């Protein structure tokens, strides 16, 4: 079988697997977040945390809970790294330096998983398991909780309550992430992924690093986290040994973001609404896969930076999926991609990572974009825009605009300042347009909470550690606050009846409007920067 046919077969198997899981898993998640019953494990957690699971919160209280929980997570993870030398399974790697510890703590708490260190030589197994892996679960659950709170804003009427963050967080971990990650950790071990508490094994006089990989690899992909236990990430044969493990990992990356569109449709009582969102993100994901695949297949050195066991199709499929979500895991080096292929991966992030986006973040981002799209439609027809029976006035559109503009603001400011700093010249390994692409990609990855990188840039300096950490925090929490404000405003409204002037949101017209808004916002914001980086490189 030719590589192209084999690649198409992989895409076909992936689509079939997602289609099989879509309905039952999406409906299951809807039941998780709408059930009035609490399991015994959950009640035990609430007792320890002194939480009343039957009370609900206003949007401001919900937002403060998210911020407080995340702040404590950053502090605990920072401290854990700084005292690593006294922890078990340290392997004499010592304490993590302050700047690196700060960057890593913010990175994993914000679901970015940007890594400015070599895991085999910096992080011991205790920090990996107790610190980083725990954040892989809870940071993903935070994104899901915020998405569900926004959906409740559309569903509820004349109330100031959006649910209970602590209940949503606990259910996301206990009922969704833990059981699925447990099953697929075993599946990954069966495909050859390593699971060991040893620091390494000797092979012909050379020490090859090992770690408890499988248990962390499963949640790394399922939670769209992306941080590798080993430095080569999912290009390492211990993390991703063959074509089957590669396909399983891509499936895990896409499973929750895709299925959440079904959850959304089920919760709002009209599954066609979810199908429209699925169609938009599916179309954009397919187009970008074709762009990256064709660009890499026709490059001057098509296999540069790619593993032979995956080839171009498996590398393009993984790269497209990891940048279209907020995962950031890599099975090839994006810095070695062609100008068009690397630009395609970057553009996925510049779309706002809503095609399909991260766990939870993808759903609330595409819903915010739907609000923007309906606002634009309202301007064109001269009437107050509505979406799902809720009027979109000044407060709602302002919150949506803040959510959409937060990422471009911190990205372009950070990349612009870095580009003019003299010290950046020594950090960038390539001159000209590709060097600018490396800078732009780094800040796009941080601001979008993605975590992947053009490996040609060195980010261990104090400026990069601090500025990228700030971009991660602002890129995560400013949109979350704006989204929860939007949810609170929507929940307080009464439902507006459908009239002859209401724009249907379940057909191709709205799908085209929404997809066009996603592309238009990214184009207007980023084309000048892209023209100086990946577009210029592609033309050369």
Q: pLDDT tens digit string along 178-229? A: 999 999 999 999 999 999 999 888 888 788 889 999 999 999 999 999 999 9
Q: Which H/E stretch holds residue 209?
A: strand 206-209
Query: Is the CB of residue 495 less than 8 Å from the CB of residue 161?
Result: no
Dihedral sign, Cα of residue 185, residue 189, residue 192, residue 196: positive
* Whole-number pLDDT of residue 392: 94
Least confident piece of the model among 385-389, 413-417, 429-433 = 429-433
Does residue 453 surpass a pLDDT of 90?
no
Average pLDDT over residues 103-130: 94
What's the rounded Cα separation, in Å, for the pair 342 and 339? Answer: 5
* Whole-number pLDDT of residue 30: 98
Least confident piece of the model among 160-164, 346-350, 477-481 = 346-350
Does residue 431 surpass a pLDDT of 80?
no
* Whole-number pLDDT of residue 79: 97
Give the confidence band of 459 by pLDDT, cuts at 50, 70, 90: confident
Q: Which residue ranges make up each domain of the chain?
A: 359-539
- Each residue's pLDDT tens digit, 76-97: 999 999 999 999 998 889 999 9
Query: From residue 202, how far is each of 124, 206, 207, 210 by CA, in Å?
Result: 18, 5, 4, 10
* Whole-number pLDDT of residue 268: 97
- In which residue are the tokens 């990214």 written? 522
* Whole-number pLDDT of residue 206: 83
* Whole-number pLDDT of residue 37: 94
Give the confidence band of 247 by pLDDT, cuts at 50, 70, 90: very high
Does residue 538 surpass a pLDDT of 90?
no
Query: From residue 227, how far is each of 123, 451, 522 by CA, in Å?
Result: 12, 7, 26
* Whole-number pLDDT of residue 468: 95
* Whole-number pLDDT of residue 200: 87
Closest CA to 35 of 139, 135, 167: 167
Dihedral sign, Cα of residue 245, residue 297, residue 441, residue 346: negative
Average pLDDT, the chain: 94
- In which residue are the tokens 């000044």 written? 394
Judge residue 499's burial from the number of C-beta atoms within 10 Å of its C-beta, 0-12 exposed, 13-18 middle, 19 or more buried: exposed
* Whole-number pLDDT of residue 391: 94
Average pLDDT over residues 248-263: 98
């Amino acid at each position: 079988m030719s590589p192209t046919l084999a690649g198409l077969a992989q895409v076909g198997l992936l689509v079939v697997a997602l289609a099989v899981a879509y309905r039952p898993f999406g409906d299951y998640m809807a039941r998780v977040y709408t059930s009035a019953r609490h399991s015994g494990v959950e009640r035990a957690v609430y007792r320890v945390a002194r939480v009343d699971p039957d009370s609900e919160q206003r949007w401001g209280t919900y937002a403060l809970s998210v911020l407080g929980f995340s702040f404590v997570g950053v502090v605990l993870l920072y401290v854990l790294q700084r005292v690593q030398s006294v922890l078990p399974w340290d392997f004499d790697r010592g304490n993590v330096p302050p700047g690196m510890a700060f960057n890593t703590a913010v990175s994993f708490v914000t679901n970015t998983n940007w890594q400015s260190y070599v895991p085999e030589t910096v992080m011991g197994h205790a920090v990996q398991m107790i610190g980083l892996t725990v954040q892989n679960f809870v940071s993903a659950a935070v994104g899901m909780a915020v998405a569900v709170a926004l959906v409740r804003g559309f569903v509820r009427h004349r109330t100031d309550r959006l649910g209970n963050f602590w209940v949503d967080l606990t259910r996301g971990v206990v009922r969704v992430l833990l059981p699925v990650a447990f099953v697929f950790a075993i599946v990954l071990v069966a495909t050859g992924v390593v699971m060991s508490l040893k620091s390494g094994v000797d092979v012909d006089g050379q020490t090859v690093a090992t770690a408890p990989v499988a248990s962390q690899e499963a949640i790394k992909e399922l939670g769209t986290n992306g941080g590798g236990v080993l430095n080569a990430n999912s290009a390492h044969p211990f993390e991703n040994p063959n074509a089957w493990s590669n396909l399983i990992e891509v499936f895990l990356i896409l499973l929750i973001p895709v299925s959440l569109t079904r959850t959304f449709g089920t919760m709002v009582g009209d599954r066609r609404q979810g199908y429209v969102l699925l169609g938009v993100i599916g179309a954009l994901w397919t187009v970008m896969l074709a762009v990256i695949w064709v660009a890499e297949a026709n490059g001057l050195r098509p296999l540069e930076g790619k593993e032979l066991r995956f080839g171009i199709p498996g590398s393009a499929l993984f790269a497209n999926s990891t940048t279209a979500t907020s995962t950031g895991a890599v099975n090839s080096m994006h810095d070695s991609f062609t100008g068009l292929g690397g630009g395609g991966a970057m553009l996925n992030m510049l779309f706002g990572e809503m095609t399909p986006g991260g766990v939870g973040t993808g759903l609330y981002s595409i819903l915010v974009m739907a609000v923007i799209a309906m606002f634009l439609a309202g301007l064109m027809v001269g009437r107050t825009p509505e979406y799902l029976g809720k009027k979109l006035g000044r407060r709602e559109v302002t919150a949506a605009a803040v959510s959409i503009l937060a990422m471009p603001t911190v990205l372009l400011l950070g990349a612009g300042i870095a580009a003019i700093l003299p010290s950046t010249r020594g950090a960038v390994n390539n001159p000209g347009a590709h060097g600018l692409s490396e800078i732009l990609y780094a800040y796009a990855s941080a601001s979008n909470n993605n975590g992947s990188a053009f490996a040609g840039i060195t980010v261990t300096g104090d400026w990069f550690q601090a500025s990228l950490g700030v971009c991660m925090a602002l890129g995560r929490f400013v949109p979350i606050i704006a989204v929860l404000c939007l949810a609170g405003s929507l929940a307080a409204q009464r439902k507006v009846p459908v009239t002859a002037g209401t724009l249907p949101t379940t057909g191709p017209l709205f799908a085209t409007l929404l997809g066009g808004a996603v592309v238009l916002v990214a184009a207007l914001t980023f084309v000048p920067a892209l023209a100086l980086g990946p577009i210029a490189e592609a033309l050369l």
